[in-house]
């Protein structure tokens, strides 16, 4: 009898374990779809919107306010304008770059590796967002970033990141060249047009070579870059009843931030383009009144904006203007004045023809007459201070870039690229505060990265740490 008792006890104990099978599948999320359930292309639109914020959003406006383009009038933008930037300000920028763009793009490539068109697009998107980040901050995580195995990605040198992006863009160009054209509705920029993506990839290559001062390579890349304004890589707002698809500046001015940031008293508007100011860019062959009106924003009454911040005005990110001006700059640098001048004049034809901005007031003067070599000789129209004619042309190109890059990172990038090494041709912008003697050279790393990534170390010089490529 006793044995039977123990037998039963032992048998029951054996039966009494927890069964994994019974709870299988219950924890699958009943409220959302897992990523596997979404086709790869479904992740493209969101990433493009994230990239738009990276390229055109808050951080861009901050650095543009340090570049003579914007003025922070009140609240947060006022302190940011006065260089009081804290690490908390960059959290969103980094998460949109790495999480919003790179993670999504890599997932697309991993899921549909044979789709060359999507692979090419995803690589251009990744190169675009990471390149902007590298230019803004200097050393950033890249080779170890967005890797599920690595929780603390190391920081690569700025030059290494740009080198890796050139390789990535080369791969993108190979993919896009080999891809068959098809309509991708989820692609809000080019709807899957590989020819346009190829041009954008080349202009990006040229941009990064320019940033790393490899002007000969930039000239080669730009030859295949964006060939006409219609091919611009832009954010095109929609004509809906919803505010959440509109020109970002219009949206900003519409909400509670009305009057916080604008350009009505900026260096660009009040001085640089202003026909009433003797030292402005206006001269016999160039009249900027119409372009100035187009760029002048009404930050206090959004609906009054008919130009750059009009409700559905496209917002350019990679453009014909950039490509043409890169050609002009690099050709001047590597081939001389006349080669550069040709590219600049081709660009001025587009300006004059109203292809690059709209003339808002009939009375505004608009004139971009062809420039000739004589304008750049010492004492000429564009060389009153009698410097080397090629330098004078470069200065004119850089000035043109300063305007053409309005509301993009490239303004800040050009200022830093030339400020140290080529002060003679760089645009001289004023300080926003009388007590400072240096312009910011970068942005401070985000707080979340500093907290969570043991490899993140903020340089002691902070904002004023001069980046590798700008020395």
Partner 1 sequence: MLLLLFGLFQSLNAQQTVKGTILDEKGNPIIAVNVILKGSGTGTVSDLDGKYNIQVPNANSVLEFSFIGYKSKSESVGNRSTIDVTLEEDAELLDEVVVSALGFTQKKDQMGSTYSTVATQDVVRSGETGLINGLAGKAAGVRVARSNGDPGAGSTIQIRGANTITGSSSPLVIVDGVPISNSTIYGNGNGGTDAGVSQQSRLNDINPADIESIQVLKGASAASLWGSRAANGVIVITTKKGKSGKPTISYTSSFSYDQINRQHPLQDKFGQGFNGLWSATASQSWGDKISSRAGGADEVITNRDRFEALDGTVYYPVSKKNSQETFNESNFDAIFQNGNFLQNDLSISGGSDKSTFFFSLGNLSQDGIIKGSDYDRTTLRLNNQIFFNDWLSMTTRAAYTKTSSNRVQQSSNIDGLYLGLLRNSPDFDIRDYKGTYFNTAGQAFPNAHRAYRRHLGYPQPAYGNPIWVTNDQKNTSEVNRFLMNAELNVDPLSWLKFTFRGGLDASTDNRVYFFPKLSAGAVNGELFQDDIEENEFNFDAIAKGSFDLADGVSMLATVGWNYNNQNRDLNYTSIVGFLVDYPKPVTSLNTSNDASSVERIKRYVRSNRGYSVLNFNIKNQFFLNATATMEAASSVAGSFFYPSFDGAWQFTQLEAFKGNKVLSFGKLRASWGKVGVQPQPHRAQTLAEGGVVYSSYSDGLNSSQFGGGFRINNNQGNPNLRPEIKTETEVGFDLRFFNNKLGLTTTYYQNKIVDLLFNVSTAASTGFTSIYTNGGEMENRGIEFDVDYDLIKKKDFGLNIFGNWNNNRNKVIDILGVQSIDLTGQSISSRAVQGQPLGVLWGTRAVRDENGAFILDKNGFPQQASTQGVIGNPNPDWRGAMGVRANWKSLSINLLFEHSQGGDFAERTRFILRNFGTHADVGNEVTLTQELKNVAGKVFPSGTTVRGNIFDYGAGPVLLDQAWYTGLGGGLGDGVINELAISDFTWTRLREVSLSYTLNTPAFRQKTKLSSVVFSLTGRNLWLKTGIVGIDPDTNQFGVSNGFGIEYFTNPGTRSVLFTLQITY
Chain residues 410-469 in contact with partner 1, contact rule CB under 8 A: 446, 448-449, 451-453, 456
* CA 171 – CA 423 distance, rounded (Å): 36
Query: Encoding tokens for residue 364?
Result: 């505004």
* Among 120, 138, 153, 316, interactor with partner 1 by CB under 8 A: 153
The count of residues in the chain is 471
Q: Which is nearer to partner 1, 12 or 363 (CB)?
A: 12
Footprint of partner 1 on 14-73 (CB under 8 A): 15-20, 22-24, 26-35, 37-38, 42-47, 49-50, 52-53, 57-59, 61
Task: State yes or no: residue 146 binds partner 1 (CB under 8 A).
Answer: yes
Query: Encoding tokens for residue 23?
Result: 């709870």
CB of 372 to partner 1, least distance (A): 43
CB of 352 to partner 1, least distance (A): 33
Footprint of partner 1 on 184-223 (CB under 8 A): 185-186, 188
**Span of 150-158, 274-282, 407-415, 424-432 interacting with partner 1 by CB under 8 A:** 150-158
Residue 372's nearest CA partner among 358, 364, 362, 382 is 382
Which helix (DSSP H) or strand (DSSP E) does residue 407 occupy?
A: none
* Among 74, 99, 191, 338, interactor with partner 1 by CB under 8 A: 99
Footprint of partner 1 on 328-387 (CB under 8 A): none
CB of 442 to partner 1, least distance (A): 17
Footprint of partner 1 on 245-264 (CB under 8 A): 245, 248-249, 251-252, 255-257
Instruction: Count the site residues for partner 1 by CB under 8 A.
Output: 92
Name the DSSP letter for residue 72. E
Residues in CB range of 408: below 8 A, 6 or more apart: 55, 56, 60, 316, 317
Q: Which is nearer to partner 1, 61 or 291 (CB)?
A: 61
Residue 231's nearest CA partner among 136, 316, 138, 341 is 316
Residue 331's nearest CA partner among 210, 191, 454 is 210
* CA 231 – CA 202 distance, rounded (Å): 13
CB of 243 to partner 1, least distance (A): 8
Residue 96: how many CB atoms within 10 A of its CB?
23
* CA 371 – CA 380 distance, rounded (Å): 11
Q: Which is nearer to partner 1, 89 or 193 (CB)?
A: 89
Name the DSSP letter for residue 431. P
CB of 287 to partner 1, least distance (A): 33
Residues in CB range of 305: below 8 A, 6 or more apart: 247, 249, 250, 253, 297, 298, 311, 313
CB of 156 to partner 1, least distance (A): 11
* CA 285 – CA 371 distance, rounded (Å): 8
**Span of 96-104, 203-211, 263-271, 331-339 interacting with partner 1 by CB under 8 A:** 96-104
Beta bridge partners of 261: 72
* CA 128 – CA 142 distance, rounded (Å): 13
Q: Which is nearer to partner 1, 148 or 379 (CB)?
A: 148
* Among 66, 81, 83, 94, interactor with partner 1 by CB under 8 A: 94
Q: Which is nearer to partner 1, 42 or 462 (CB)?
A: 42
In three-state secondary structure terms, 226 is coil
Q: Which is nearer to partner 1, 84 or 349 (CB)?
A: 84
Footprint of partner 1 on 223-242 (CB under 8 A): 238, 240, 242
Q: What is the DSSP string of 298-339?
A: -SS-GGG--STTSTT--EEEE-HHHHHHHHHHHHHHHH-HHH
**Span of 1-9, 158-166, 274-282, 408-416 interacting with partner 1 by CB under 8 A:** 1-9
Q: Which is nearer to partner 1, 188 or 220 (CB)?
A: 188
Footprint of partner 1 on 125-144 (CB under 8 A): 140-141
Q: Which is nearer to partner 1, 4 or 278 (CB)?
A: 4
Is the Cβ–Cβ distance between 119 and 105 less than 8 Å? no
* CA 322 – CA 234 distance, rounded (Å): 13
């Amino acid at each position: 009898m006793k044995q039977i008792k123990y037998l039963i006890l032992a048998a029951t104990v054996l039966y009494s374990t927890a069964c994994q099978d019974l709870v299988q599948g219950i924890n699958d999320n009943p409220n959302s779809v897992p990523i596997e359930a979404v086709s790869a292309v479904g992740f493209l639109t969101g990433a493009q919107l994230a990239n738009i914020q990276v390229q055109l959003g808050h951080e861009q406006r901050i650095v543009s306010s340090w570049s003579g383009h914007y003025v922070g009038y009140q609240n947060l933008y006022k302190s940011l304008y006065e260089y009081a930037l804290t690490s908390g300000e960059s959290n969103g920028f980094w998460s949109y770059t790495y999480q919003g763009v790179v993670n999504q793009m890599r997932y697309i490539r991993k899921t549909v590796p044979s789709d060359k068109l999507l692979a090419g697009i995803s690589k251009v998107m990744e190169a675009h967002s990471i390149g902007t980040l590298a230019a803004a901050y200097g050393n950033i995580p890249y080779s170890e970033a967005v890797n599920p195995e690595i929780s603390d990605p190391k920081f690569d040198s700025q030059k290494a990141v740009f080198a890796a992006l050139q390789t990535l863009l080369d791969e993108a160009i190979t993919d896009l060249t080999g891809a068959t054209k098809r309509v991708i509705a989820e692609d809000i920029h080019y709807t899957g047009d590989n020819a346009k993506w190829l041009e954008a990839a080349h202009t990006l290559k040229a941009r990064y070579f320019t940033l790393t001062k490899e002007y000969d390579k930039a000239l080669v890349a730009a030859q295949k870059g964006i060939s006409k304004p219609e091919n611009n890589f832009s954010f095109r707002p929609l004509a809906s009843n919803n505010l959440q698809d509109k020109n970002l500046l219009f949206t900003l001015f519409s909400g509670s931030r009305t009057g916080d940031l604008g350009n009505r008293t900026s260096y660009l508007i009040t001085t640089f383009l202003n026909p009433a100011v003797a030292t402005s860019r206006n001269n016999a062959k160039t009249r900027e009144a119409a372009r100035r009106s187009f760029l002048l924003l009404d930050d206090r009454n959004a609906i009054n904006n008919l130009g750059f911040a009009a409700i559905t005005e496209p917002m350019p990110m990679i453009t014909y203007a950039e490509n043409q001006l890169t050609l002009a700059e690099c050709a001047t640098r590597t081939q001389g004045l006349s080669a550069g001048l040709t590219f600049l004049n081709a660009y001025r034809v587009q300006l004059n023809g109203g292809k690059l901005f709209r003339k808002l007031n009939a009375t505004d003067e608009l004139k971009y007459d062809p420039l000739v070599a004589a304008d750049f000789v010492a004492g000429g129209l564009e060389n009153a201070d009698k410097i080397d004619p090629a330098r004078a042309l470069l200065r004119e190109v850089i000035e043109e870039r300063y305007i053409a890059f309005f509301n993009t990172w490239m303004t800040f990038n050009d200022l830093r690229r030339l400020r140290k090494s080529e002060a003679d041709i760089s645009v001289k912008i004023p300080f926003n505060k009388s007590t400072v003697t240096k312009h910011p050279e970068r942005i401070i790393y985000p707080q979340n990265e500093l907290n969570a990534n043991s490899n993140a170390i903020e340089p002691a010089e902070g904002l004023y740490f001069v980046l590798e490529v700008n020395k």
